């Protein structure tokens, strides 16, 4: 970046002057177009989305590079004539040029470097060792970097390193008519990356980043030891996964549920580890090849069902939280008025649409796992086959199988006025007659379960129901009681 700035400051005397004049200039933010050049009013349209954090991270990284480079250059006698001319605005411009137009250095074969790779460099034996350790770096190829992006373009990047003339070509396999635009393909990228790095937005190409923090090293070790683990983006203490508006393509051996391909591979397995209790952690440690994500429908109905259900529930809560964050951030915005505001609004709308679709897919799937009120026989012959036994259904089971217990407990925890309401009696009806009220059977279907939950009765009733089932089946069905033992242990944890 500092070399590009140096050549820009050299003006027409630079060998690269014609190329640099063809680039968007530092005083043309409308052409640079990335959110780092958005005025404050336009940035307000991005509030609540993934971009503000990404902008802050990129600005922080670039400022660190700028300040570190300034110290080196200001101490270099050969650069004394440029002292005071290196500015943050120029560095931001040069960095934006590289982020939006560069290719990766690994495209360049060794033959193109001549003997440069073997020359010594500070801190390393030679340039080859430095590149191998620090990784590839961005390279500008004048004119070839002018091509716009098309995700459907079938192109090949080809380097000819043989012979006296060496060149780099972009080859397309489709016919291009006169006057048509020649496209490059920047590789699969969501709109967050495209807008941040290149300054444009593609409708229907939206993605939302979901950040998961790892609470301790034990869970991190369990996740990293699992078969097929690939480290996602993010710092060491967190993982970042993406939700897309378009499904991810299925990889070889991918057994995930089709409607959940909008989630980046590994997201549900990571959540499975994060929500695991001690029993489940032990299983996942001993069976690193097991994937809740790839065996979701099986997992929901076996001994790790609590874990799978909890992972989906946490994911749903994360998505709903991300949606609320975007909605709540826009309280005082009118219609978008500028180019930047229009693009920011499109990006914001795309993130909301992606979250809405993901929430609907998860919610619809979870609904299929619940007990069906109209079809369920609440007389217990066996453990209910539905993975989700909600508190309301638990009350129905308790009433159907242990009506005396149900009536006694419900009357013990509810006030007389509440019981009268549930029985359909007026406040003064049977007043003073406890016997009249106690003789009436209390139907669970007439109870307000929202009120019961608000008063903290839900979990005690659910545990009581489970205890009754255990007592009834303990001697008759050992497999069933073992499953219930695990379930109750998980509930109490």
Distance separating alpha carbons of residues 465 and 198, to the nearest angstrom: 59
Distance separating alpha carbons of residues 414 and 433, to the nearest angstrom: 16
Domain range annotation of the chain? 2-102, 208-368, 391-492
For 247-276, write each residue's pLDDT tens digit: 888 877 778 888 999 999 999 999 999 999
For 55-73, write each residue's pLDDT tens digit: 999 999 999 999 999 998 8
Q: How far is CA 353 from CA 65, 244, 345, 359, in A?
A: 36, 10, 12, 10
Distance separating alpha carbons of residues 380 and 469, to the nearest angstrom: 8
At residue 4, the pLDDT reads: 95
Distance separating alpha carbons of residues 262 and 203, to the nearest angstrom: 16
Q: What does the angle CA 53 – CA 66 – CA 33 come to, to the nearest 5 degrees?
A: 50
335 backbone dihedrals φ, ψ, rounded to 5°: -75, 145
DSSP string, 11-46: GGGSTTHHHHHHSPPTT-HHHH-SGGG--HHHHGGG
> What's the distance, CA 33 to chain centroid?
25
Would you put residue 159 in left (φ > 0), alpha (ψ -120 to 50) or beta?
Answer: beta
pLDDT-derived band of residue 493, with 50, 70 and 90 as boundaries?
A: low
- Global pTM reads 0.79
At residue 457, the pLDDT reads: 65
Provide the β-strand partners of residue 212.
239
Which of the residue ranges 160-174, 324-338, 472-486 would you say has the lowest mean pLDDT?
472-486
> What's the distance, CA 444 to chain centroid?
41
> What's the distance, CA 317 to chain centroid?
12
For 399-446, write each residue's pLDDT tens digit: 777 777 777 767 766 677 777 776 666 656 554 444 455 556 777 767
Which of the residue ranges 10-14, 212-216, 263-267, 397-401 would you say has the lowest mean pLDDT?
397-401
222 closest CA partner among 134, 292, 128, 153: 292
At residue 480, the pLDDT reads: 47
Which of the residue ranges 180-189, 378-387, 480-489 would you say has the lowest mean pLDDT?
480-489
Examine the pLDDT at 234 and tell me if it is beyond 60: no
At residue 432, the pLDDT reads: 47
Q: How far is CA 462 from CA 227, 309, 391, 490, in A?
A: 37, 17, 6, 13
Within 10 A of 291 (CB to CB), how many other CB atoms are there? 22
pLDDT-derived band of residue 160, with 50, 70 and 90 as boundaries?
A: confident
């Amino acid at each position: 970046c500092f070399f590009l700035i140096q050549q820009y400051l050299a003006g027409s005397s630079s060998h690269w002057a014609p190329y640099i004049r063809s680039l968007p200039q530092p005083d043309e933010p409308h052409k640079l177009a990335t959110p780092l050049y958005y005025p404050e009013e336009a940035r307000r349209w991005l509030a609540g989305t993934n971009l503000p954090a990404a902008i802050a991270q990129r600005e922080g990284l670039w400022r660190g590079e700028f300040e570190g480079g300034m110290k080196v250059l200001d101490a270099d006698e050969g650069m004394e004539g440029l002292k005071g001319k290196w500015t943050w605005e120029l560095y931001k411009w040069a960095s934006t040029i590289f982020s939006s137009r560069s290719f990766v250095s690994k495209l360049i074969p060794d033959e193109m470097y001549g003997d440069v790779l073997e020359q010594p460099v500070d801190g390393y034996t030679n340039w080859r060792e430095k590149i191998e350790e620090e990784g590839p770096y961005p390279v500008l190829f004048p004119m070839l970097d002018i091509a716009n992006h098309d995700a459907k373009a079938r192109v090949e990047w080809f380097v000819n390193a043989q012979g006296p003339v060496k060149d780099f070509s972009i080859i397309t396999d489709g016919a291009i008519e006169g006057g048509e635009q020649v496209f490059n393909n920047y590789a699969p990228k969501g709109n967050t990356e495209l807008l941040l790095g290149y300054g444009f937005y593609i409708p229907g190409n939206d993605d939302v980043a979901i950040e998961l923090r790892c609470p301790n090293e034990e869970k991190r070790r369990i996740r990293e030891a699992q078969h097929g683990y690939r480290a996602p983006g993010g710092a060491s203490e967190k993982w970042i996964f993406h939700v897309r508006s378009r499904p991810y393509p299925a990889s070889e051996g991918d057994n995930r549920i089709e409607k959940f391909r909008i989630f980046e591979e590994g997201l549900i397995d990571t959540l499975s580890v994060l929500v695991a209790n001690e029993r489940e952690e032990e299983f996942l440690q001993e069976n690193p090849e097991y994937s809740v994500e790839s065996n979701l429908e099986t997992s929901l109905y076996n001994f790790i069902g609590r874990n799978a259900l909890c992972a989906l529930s946490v994911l749903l809560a994360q998505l709903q939280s991300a949606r609320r964050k975007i909605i709540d951030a826009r309280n005082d915005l009118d219609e978008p008025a500028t180019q930047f505001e229009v693009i920011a609004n499109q990006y914001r709308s795309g993130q909301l649409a992606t979250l809405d679709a993901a929430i609907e897919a998860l919610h619809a799937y979870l609904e299929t796992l619940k007990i069906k009120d109209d079809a369920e026989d609440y007389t217990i012959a066996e453990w209910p086959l539905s993975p989700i036994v909600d508190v309301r259904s638990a009350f129905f089971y308790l009433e159907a199988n242990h009506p005396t217990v149900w009536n006694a407990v419900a009357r013990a925890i509810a006030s007389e006025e509440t019981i009268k309401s549930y029985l359909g009696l007026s406040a003064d009806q049977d007043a003073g007659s406890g016997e009249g009220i106690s003789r009436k059977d209390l139907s669970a279907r007439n109870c307000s379960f929202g009120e019961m939950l608000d008063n903290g009765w839900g979990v005690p009733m659910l545990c009581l129901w489970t205890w009754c089932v255990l007592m009834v089946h303990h001697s008759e069905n050992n497999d069933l009681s073992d499953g219930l033992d695990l379930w109750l242990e998980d509930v109490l944890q």
